[in-house]
Amino acid sequence: MSLQRTLSIIKPDAVGRNITGSINARFEQEGLRITAQKMMFLCRSQVEKFYEIHRDKAFYDSLCEYMSSGPVVVQVLSGEDAVARNRRIMGATNPANAEIGTIRRDFGQNVEQNAVHGSDSVENAEKEIAFFFSKLELMP
Ligand code: UDP
Ligand code: MG
């Protein structure tokens, strides 16, 4: 077990349906602390850069369009094994395959509009946090 932090994004479908509070309650109930948080309306080129790793995937174009279609809530979640813990709380990428009680199962619309993003490794978490937050915005 180790104290970690991870980057989370509440995606435009969830912000649009006004359920950011319900999603944040899940993180808190499951032992994660929101240690930084801000609402942003990302432009297409910012989203393209964030999801660069998926550039060659068939879903990339549609994903970038969707993620720049409305405001998102970008946040840092901190706690014991925060990266893997958040992936468990989120559930599988496709809400149809996500376990009951996970955020994506309960709040996701489809494989693209799946309510939340969460970093997939400690290394990527640090890169993604640095992408969105300055040192001043982060807890020491
Ligand atoms: N995505 C999609 N179609 C797919 C797979 C992924 O639209 O077949 C979208 C979905 O919004 C997903 C994001 O692309 O959350 C990033 O995909 P990834 O494989 O990294 O899934 P995640 O790590 O978010 O579970
Ligand atoms: Mg991913």
pLDDT the model gives residue 137: 97
28, 8 in Cβ contact below 8 A?
A: no
Q: How far is CA 130 from each of CA 45, 124, 139, rounded to the nearest angstrom?
A: 17, 10, 13
How does pLDDT run across 86-130, given as a tens digit for each residue?
Answer: 999 999 999 999 999 999 999 999 999 999 999 999 999 999 999
Please give the distance, rounded to the nearest whole angstrom, from the Cα atom of residue 119 to the centre of ligand 2. 6
How does pLDDT run across 6-50, given as a tens digit for each residue?
Answer: 999 999 999 999 999 999 999 999 999 999 999 999 999 999 999
- The length of the chain, given as a count of residues: 140
How does pLDDT run across 59-90, given as a tens digit for each residue?
Answer: 999 999 999 999 999 999 999 999 999 999 99
Does residue 104 have its Cβ closer than 6 Å to ligand 1? Answer: no
Q: Is 54 a catalytic residue?
A: no
Options 117, 125, 129, 132, the catalytic residue: 117
Question: Which domains can be identified in the chain, with CATH numbers?
Answer: 3-134 (3.30.70.141)
SS3 77: strand
Q: Say how many Å lie between the first and final Cα of the chain, rounded.
A: 20
Q: Above 80 in pLDDT, residue 1?
A: no
